[in-house]
Structure 1
Amino acid sequence: MELLRRKPFVLDPQADPVAQARALRALGPLVAVELPGGVAAWTATDLATAQQVLGHEDLTKDPAYWPDLAEGRIPDDWELIALVRGAAMLHQGGADHRRLRHLVSSAFSRAPIEALRPRIEEIAGELLDQAEAKGDGATVDLREQFAYPLPVRVICEVLGVPDTAVSELRHRFDRLVTPQQEGGGAGDIRVAVADIYASLGALIEAKRAVPANDLTTALIQARDDGDRLSEQELVETLFLVLIAGHETTINAITNTVQSLLANPAALARALESDDPDTWSAVADEGLRFSSPVPHALMRYAVKDTEIAGVRIAQGEPVIASLFAAGRDPVRHERPDEFDFTRPTRRDHVAFGFGAHYCLGARLARLETEIALGTLFGRFPGLAPAGEPDRLSSIALQGFRTLPVRLRPFEGVPRN
């Protein structure tokens, strides 16, 4: 296979994402890479090729088409296994994907999401009240006290997860997405997944006993009223909605805040703007500038296919480097500058592209817009309070901590 004959670029989860993106693009539009565990794949490095990969009819998300997985060459304890295998819509193609997506899509359409705006604003205000109670000039971890609890509380309310289960699920999701930080490795992933499934099983039983007006009850009814949703699909769909419903947004918020703090002139323009769509534009630029998902995993060639002049053999895995695509100099002038007024700010693939475009993109964008506007409306003089601790992950791009100082407005410095 051509993939195995190429010298792969090793994707390092601890690498500087800007430098890594630049190095990937320099190698070409479709590059052989090595994922953790020595797993080989192709990756798209520019926007046009990423869109082609994400929307290609001859590339499927169904891992049954990956011989290395089907024939046991990918171990069950591979650290990315939970992101490439399962019964949820993320791992399905064709009719199965459309069926599963249809069952959830109505909850994430425009009207229901816009109806959440007052509640999201209320939660954001409550969280900032708690931060403000620490006093002027206080130092807080913005991720821990604001960026994390905001989307977690929102998605748990959409699903009907009781408050008593939120902190338990949070700890388990933390172990899943950043296991290397706790030293547990792949074994920790297996434990986290088993624990999450157990929690979701208990939630399903509780909702069967006492139905409510929430997405979990709606999916249970789809499962129990017919054969459209298996029990495994039910659990894994809830798993997907929960993790996708908060992890991307957490990093979208923290990445954009950090980008603004590092670009005070851009922050000043945002604070001085009287355009009601300013924070929406800032959120879009944040997604382009610093995609919360650095690499979209994983698609497989259903037959020999050519993309960007490269032959992809049947069964070979293909990913897309979303961070690199967002900084594509062909599509964006001065791509490494944060400029929310640029006309191409929405030309990115941070939420994917094609049939698997992120179902929760509308909610994530709204949460990010509200978070930014509420935060800087309350603390326009927000300032860094030390170096943030960056995540080390192939699947997520963001920060484990983001220390900031809450201070009254004293004018925003300019570059």
Structure 2
Amino acid sequence: MDLTDRPLFTLDPHADPAEEARRLHALGPLVPVELPGGVAAWAATDVATAQRVLGHEDLTKDPAHWPALGAGRIPDDWELIALVRGAAMLHQGGDDHRRLRLLVSSAFARAPIEALRPRITAIADELLDALSSLSPYEPIDLREHFSYPLPVRVICEVLGVPGTAVSELRDSFHRLVTPQGSGSGEADIRLAMADIQRSLTALIAGKREDPGHDLTTALIQARDDGDRLGEQELVETLFLVLIAGHETTINLITNTVHELLRNPMTVAAVRDGAHTWADVVDEGLRFSSPVRHALLRYAVKDTEIAGVRVAQGDPVVASLFAAGRDPGHHENADSFDIGRPTRRDHAAFGHGAHYCLGARLAKIEAEIALGALFGQYPDLTAASAPDPLASIPLQGFTSLPVHLHTRERPPSRRTP
């Protein structure tokens, strides 16, 4: 039976991720699903199958192996098109992927990333100090004022680009990872991609005139000194590092803080020395993966995964949030528990050849952010329930309203 002949479970960006995960688990380890726009795919729902999909020798990220795309059955206005088609390493397989990955891998090796700890700590402290200027009696959006700017500033420093490289493109980034509203479509997506292309092309031109000791300069030199990198590959690689270097880390910090506010004894356990912030981050990645569904891989030939026949050309999704909540692997999988022995058994950073290059940086940023936040504001409490982010690729919240202090507002002075 072909994929399109089966009943398809609809992946809805507005659905509750935890409820969606439970329903997917009930259907099996590899489930036929429908992505937005009526696109059929397979979805891996448990941790073993997700890792198998992400590292499978017969699955590729190269969309040239997706017949539906090549035949024009996937329109240019498909809301997820920017995540499955392009010249960056995210969309490549084999030698092209290895070539592109090698060009940026040295910047994310252990030594240079560990060397960033003092700078990340300084940025975190600076951002938290700035919060003290806000009213102590009004809720603040921690995502906007802390979770967002910290990884943005870090990745911009790694790349050697101004912080405006992200802020000017914030709306364009958002349009590529969230559902398009009524009346939008191809024009909206094309506009976002054109904005990104134009901005990054200008940034590269400026960097050619004023090079530095940074990743962007290294990528430009790889482009200009030989045939290791094409011009469009340069633009899209810069885009990939820029967006991947902050978007998921924002959600990792925000999601984990949200769970800590619901589990205050967890913070106490870290303060008492029973656990570390690294333990908290590991459980945060498992329990509330910043990536909801990892798109897409394609079967280069007929293959079998988890007892299911996947036909040549079929697209496959790794449902990373569901994999983190795998009830067959994690006891009480829907509970946030930093002491669980399986907390590192997740696929939040991927698996195999496409394992996230920035995983170490993201974890260090989150560890430093959490330690600094709860160290400076130990009475932090939730102000209201956050609004979930409606997205297929990402999982998190659009805001995180908190009170920095537990002190009550002083009584108002009324004239008798």
TM-score higher than 0.5 here? yes
65-74 or 123-132: bigger deviation: 123-132
Show the counterpart of 2:115: 115
Show the counterpart of 1:398: 396
Question: Would you say the 8 A contact 1:179–1:186 is kept in 2?
Answer: no
Show the counterpart of 1:351: 349
Structure 2 residue 329 is the aligned partner of structure 1 residue 327: no
Q: Which amino acid aligns with 2:345?
A: D
Cα deviation digits, residues 103-148 of structure 1 (max 9, x gap): 0000001111111111111111111111122243441101100001
What is the rounded CA distance, in whole Å, between the counterparts of 2:181 and 2:150 in structure 1?
A: 23
Cα deviation digits, residues 189-237 of structure 1 (max 9, x gap): 2211110111110011111111111100000000111101000110010
Alignment of 1:264-275 (within 5 A): 264-270=264-270, 272-274=271-273
Alignment of 1:31-180 (within 5 A): 31-178=31-178, 180=180
SS in 2 for 1:348: coil
What is the rounded CA distance, in whole Å, between the counterparts of 1:396 and 1:81 in structure 2?
A: 15
What is the rounded CA distance, in whole Å, between the counterparts of 1:406 and 1:395 in structure 2?
A: 31
What is the rounded CA distance, in whole Å, between the counterparts of 1:237 and 1:302 in structure 2?
A: 25
SS in 2 for 1:86: coil
Cα deviation digits, residues 358-407 of structure 1 (max 9, x gap): 11111111111111111111111111111201100001100011100000
178-187 or 228-237: bigger deviation: 178-187
Q: CA deviation at 1:251?
A: 0.4
Q: CA deviation at 1:4?
A: 1.1
Structure 1 residues 344, 64: closer, same or farther in 2, change over 3 A? same
Q: Which amino acid aligns with 1:340?
A: I
Percent identity of the aligned residues?
73
Q: Which amino acid aligns with 1:301?
A: A
Cα deviation digits, residues 243-279 of structure 1 (max 9, x gap): 1000100000111011111223323323x3326x611
Question: Would you say the 8 A contact 2:381–2:406 is kept in 1?
Answer: no
SS in 2 for 1:207: helix
Structure 1 residues 216, 381: closer, same or farther in 2, change over 3 A? same
Cα deviation digits, residues 315-356 of structure 1 (max 9, x gap): 000011100100112211111111111111110000000000
Q: CA deviation at 1:5?
A: 1.4
Q: Which amino acid aligns with 1:217?
A: T
What is the rounded CA distance, in whole Å, between the counterparts of 2:207 and 2:391 in structure 1?
A: 34
What is the rounded CA distance, in whole Å, between the counterparts of 1:8 and 1:360 in structure 2?
A: 34
Alignment of 1:234-313 (within 5 A): 234-270=234-270, 272-274=271-273, 278-313=276-311
Show the counterpart of 1:368: 366
What is the rounded CA distance, in whole Å, between the counterparts of 1:385 and 1:182 in structure 2?
A: 31
Show the counterpart of 2:412: none
Q: Which amino acid aligns with 2:273?
A: D
Q: CA deviation at 1:183?
A: 6.8
Q: CA deviation at 1:166?
A: 3.8
Q: Which amino acid aligns with 2:235?
A: V
What is the rounded CA distance, in whole Å, between the counterparts of 2:196 and 2:112 in structure 1?
A: 27
Q: Which amino acid aligns with 2:245?
A: G
What is the rounded CA distance, in whole Å, between the counterparts of 1:182 and 1:390 in structure 2?
A: 19
Question: Would you say the 8 A contact 1:301–1:313 is kept in 2?
Answer: yes
Structure 1 residues 33, 293: closer, same or farther in 2, change over 3 A? same
Q: CA deviation at 1:185?
A: 4.4
Show the counterpart of 2:221: 221
Structure 2 residue 355 is the aligned partner of structure 1 residue 336: no
SS in 2 for 1:40: strand
SS in 2 for 1:180: coil
Q: Which amino acid aligns with 2:285?
A: L
**Residue of structure 1 aligned with 2:405, choices 404, 407, 413:** 407
Structure 1 residues 106, 137: closer, same or farther in 2, change over 3 A? same
Question: Would you say the 8 A contact 2:173–2:243 is kept in 1?
Answer: yes
Structure 1 residues 184, 378: closer, same or farther in 2, change over 3 A? farther
What is the rounded CA distance, in whole Å, between the counterparts of 2:188 and 2:262 in structure 1?
A: 35
SS in 2 for 1:318: strand
Question: Would you say the 8 A contact 2:160–2:215 is kept in 1?
Answer: yes
What is the rounded CA distance, in whole Å, between the counterparts of 1:140 and 1:258 in structure 2?
A: 14
- Any stretches of 5+ residues in structure 1 without a counterpart? 411-415
Q: CA deviation at 1:409?
A: 8.9
What is the rounded CA distance, in whole Å, between the counterparts of 2:146 and 2:238 in structure 1?
A: 24
What is the rounded CA distance, in whole Å, between the counterparts of 1:65 and 1:189 in structure 2?
A: 23
Aligned pairs, number: 408
Q: CA deviation at 1:2?
A: 1.9
Q: Which amino acid aligns with 1:191?
A: L
* TM-score, length of structure 2 as denominator length: 0.95
Q: Which amino acid aligns with 2:88?
A: A
Structure 2 residue 383 is the aligned partner of structure 1 residue 385: yes
- Any stretches of 5+ residues in structure 2 without a counterpart? 409-416
Question: Would you say the 8 A contact 1:136–1:408 is kept in 2?
Answer: no
Show the counterpart of 1:318: 316
Show the counterpart of 1:413: none
SS in 2 for 1:41: strand
What is the rounded CA distance, in whole Å, between the counterparts of 2:162 and 2:288 in structure 1?
A: 33
Structure 1 residues 168, 297: closer, same or farther in 2, change over 3 A? same
Show the counterpart of 2:414: none
Q: CA deviation at 1:172?
A: 2.6
